[in-house]
Structure 1
Amino acid sequence: MTTDPLPANHPPVPSPKIGVLVANLGTPDGYDYWSMRRYLNEFLSDQRVIDYPAWKWQPLLQTIILTKRPFSSGAAYKSIWNEEAGESPLMTITKAQTEALRAELTKKHGETVMVDFCMRYGNPSTKSKVDAMVAAGCTKILFFPLYPQYAGATTATANDSFFKALGDLPWQPAIRTVPAYFDDTDYIDALAQSVERAYAGMDTRPDHLIASYHGMPERYLMQGDPYHCQCQKTSRLLKERLGWADDEIVTTFQSRFGPEEWLKPYTVEEVARLAKDGKRNIAVIAPAFSADCIETLEEINEEIKDAFVEAGGETFTYIPCLNDDAAHIAALAGIVTKNLQGWID
């Protein structure tokens, strides 16, 4: 293929590339008060996350919540912080995932595919990475929110941020977004492998595997959000892949916030109930999280574990997220390749 030479005064035009931009939730830059306040303000001001009218919500957020919560959230982040790298575990893991995915896609498609990551909240921002991809010559961008199950407060708001980043560009690339992959065979298989590895290393088989998903208000389900149904299907497919009985996996929801009813059963209450019913050994997996973060490392492995032990439980095993596990990266690369069809051979 030949191209016409550019006029002498023409701005430089880089060789065309295809961008693959993966997105995760985000992380504060530090666990100090002001870093936490900036992060929480951005997160809790998102109408997809908290959909109360701004006139009602913002005064409460700015005067009460953001005065107190940065201290408690900062302490939680401090307990899991990667001090050596000076960043949260989510940032460390997302970088590792991106590097592994880049290597896998380069092996398949060569240097024409550019792989990078962004965060919906905090840094690196979606806009900064979209701008960098366009400047590098990406005429097509595949945007990949790393949320297996779709929710308005996760997938949709990540897409919103991506679309907004395109708004100021004089020459917009062609775009695609990756849909939820809650029932992708390779993703389910990667989950099952992680369970099998964990169980193989245990002296006593757990009485139950708790599949704990991030929660949301019940009314979101009533308004048509498919998240709850997709979580239930992920649990069912995982159970079928493992060849287990129906009662061996229990689906629960964590991270309740605010006064209204959220999806049930609540993980923290369910593990305590199981312990009181004589279930002394349980394992917990978090299939909605592509990478370990504050909700898994601190909430599950500390708060929820404490609730189980205090209610009489004995052995609590947290099975880590898929992170940069080889089977997970292979699954993500397969999803990307499917979604690049027609753009690349």
Structure 2
Amino acid sequence: MLVVARSTGLHRLGGMERHTDGLLGTLRTRAGRVSLITTPLPPGAVPWPGVAVVPAGDRPGAYSRRWWREVPRRVRELAARDTPDLVISQSTAAQSAVPGLLAAGIPLVYILHGSAADTLRSLAGHYDPRSLYRRWRLARAWAWNRRVLPQVPRLVAVNRRQAQSLLRDLPLDPARLLVLENPVDPGFRPARDGAERAAARRRLGLPATGPVAGYAGRLAAGKGVDLLLAWARSRPGVTLALAGEGPLAAVAGGLAPAVRLLGRLAGEELAVFYRALDCLALPSREPEGLPLAALEAGASGVPLVAFATGGLADLAEEGSVLGVVPGDIAGLFAALDRVLADEALRRRLAAAAAARPRRSWEEWTDTLLAFALADVGESGSGRIQ
């Protein structure tokens, strides 16, 4: 198997990187050999056993010109040398290698966590000179996607809205597209009782009493973390716990004790974090695929408040997330206040999230492989899994 991903958990960036880790961990038990094309690993990072890491680009985790230039060459080289059973790409940088893979008869599946077109649409009507270069890059990416994605044998979207957008914007055969929601590790579960919740707070150094809201992910303005900091500053008695790293970490660290900066958490520590919360907030300014944090919080019995974008809008429609109109800052603040003050609402949201079907990493990977390696005629038409 050959996997292409710009970054991984070793790059310490965010949720999609943890998704790559989960995929690699499961593939190692399903394939004789796993190779990974990714950006250079940070100093001191220890690669996974059984995964051959092939670096591309010049900076860890960065969308550099060199990354875009080198990935197709690396894919072609590895495909010619090893003839992988399947190429799994989580980066559109591999697109110019698609014709060669098709000519060689090597199966290829793209896992799409977002859409350049959807992001451009979310920016429409919000003029900001600082975003002009980014809009130009998104427009270029979308033009390239329109040329190449219809050629890709298999596409996986992580939420319904994304799949609908792809079918609307591109001449795609629905039989080549699968909606496959992200998996959830079974270690995420609700606190058994108040004592376990209190123990979780003690372990993380959080207040034993009073409401605690949380956020898990990259600490960046694009994720809306600056909005949460502004909300926490104006809510005496409320604690905001942040699990993650990023450019706003220094600002958040200066707002103690209202804001508690916990750093990057993983595994059991992250599960404990969710059990300590009264609610989680994900106010991303741009469309999200389907954040692992949203699914993990739901599995942990934690109500979620979020801007209703991408897969989060799907969850809001189902009633498992308290959705807010994207960009409505006053609405976000009011929703956070409401969910912290209303125990019955928290219970309803938690119950709706708990009722959603979930897949383990093993089940998710097996579904992906079955879809990617099946003939189009056997795959059904636009199945939702």
Q: Would you say same fold, with TM above 0.5?
A: no
Structure having greater relative contact order (Cα 8 Å, sep ≥ 6): 1
Could you tell me the TM-score, scaled by structure 2's length? 0.28
Could you tell me the TM-score, scaled by structure 1's length? 0.30
